[in-house]
Structure 1
Amino acid sequence: GLIGPGGKTIKKIIADTECDVNVDDDGVVTVASLDLKRCQEAIEIVRAITLEPEVGMEFDGSITRLMSFGAFVEFAPGREGLIHISEMEWHRVDKVEDVVKPGDAVRVKLIKVDDQGRLDFSRKALLEKPEGYVEPPPRDRNQGGNRGRGNGPGGGGRRPFRRN
């Protein structure tokens, strides 16, 4: 949340904006500074952290780490979600690092929040669909290769198991 482990998040806001930021026991946040511009910066950061993201919202984020299946994007201070490899570009992406690298700034759209509160983002949803783009046919998930074991009980093609 806003305070963070050991006050880390709130201390960073105070250090970055040079504003006084307090969170009361009832959750009311006060931001004080003689510099209105800095005060507004701190308020924006607090809003971003306390925001409840909803599907369809767009964010400017930063790539934090890459995995074989996608990249994690920090869309608000200390808050991350996943851009699945299939949501990076309109064309098939073989390697995540061909599209993004840690530290890259990206604009993303929230496309799903799962039961556990994990956030799925799309970069592709904000890119223009290429002219003449044809949706690839869905891959059949049940096309496991036949391992050639016959149809008999126990898989066939093997001697029966015997205990000595």
Structure 2
Amino acid sequence: MQLEVGTVVEGKVTGITNFGAFVELPGGKTGMVHISEVAPTFVKEIRDFVSEGQVVKVKVLSVSEDGKVSLSIKKALPPAPRVNSTPAPRANRPGNYEWQANKRNESDSFEDMLSRFKQTSDEKISDLKKGLESKRGGFSRHTGQQK
């Protein structure tokens, strides 16, 4: 059987070293799965993932001119289900503020938008300072007396 790069075949693990696992392929050829290609996670100990005599599916990564076959177990696995990468909306944002941008009015000038932003920002900072003072017990930092 001629091995082609990209094909997925089954093979039997015949040996395990610190750097990889040797797999006997159909047709009597032997290939090696490097430790980085054993699993889709960090592999410290190969024997935690494969054992001698185990039949595994491998993907042929390369075949060198001298006949060395490079294999991957992790690339032969079915693709993992895609997870939506957009974070879920959080109800409890810091300070319970609405962090989404307000709807813009096309006719607003830059100065109007800047003025609104400054006003909103000042209000938020004021609220944050009040919250911090209440957490400190309302004492002044410099005099140690209650305000």
**TM-score scaled by length of structure 1:** 0.47
* 1:68-147 superposed matches below 5 A: 68-130=18-80
Q: Which amino acid aligns with 2:25?
A: F
For 1:57 and 1:77, the matched residues in 2 are separated by: 14
3-state SS of the aligned residue for 2:25? strand
Question: How far apart, in 2, do the equivalents of 1:79 and 1:94 lie?
Answer: 27
Question: Could you give the per-residue CA deviations for residues 129-162 of structure 1, whole angstroms, max 9, x where no partner exists?
Answer: 55679xxxxxxxxxxxxxxxxxxxxxxxxxxxxx
- Partner residue in 2 for 1:66: 16
In structure 1, distance between residues paired with 2:28 and 2:78: 29
Q: Point out the structure with the larger strand share.
A: 1
Q: Which has the higher contact order (CA 8 A, sep 6+)?
A: 2
User: Which structure 1 segments of 5+ residues have no match?
Assistant: 1-50, 134-164
CA distance in 1, matches of 2:72, 2:58: 5
Structure 2 stretches lacking a partner, 5+ long: 84-147
Query: RMSD value over aligned CA atoms?
Result: 1.8
Q: Deviations over 1:32-73 (max 9, x none)?
A: xxxxxxxxxxxxxxxxxxx12110111111100001000000
Shift of 1:107: 0.5
Mapped partners of 2:60, 2:75: distance in 1: 9
Shift of 1:116: 1.6
1:103 Cα shift?
0.3
Larger Cα-atom Rg: 2
What is the DSSP-based 3-state SS (H/G/I as helix, E as strand, rest coil) of the residue aligned with 2:39?
A: coil
Give me the whole-angstrom Cα distance separating, in 2, the residues matched to 1:98 and 1:123: 14
> Does the residue aligned with 2:22 lie in a helix, a strand or coil?
strand
How many pairs are equivalent? 83
- d(CA) in 2 for partners of 1:53 and 1:78? 11
Shift of 1:113: 1.1
Q: What SS does the aligned partner of 1:125 have? A: helix
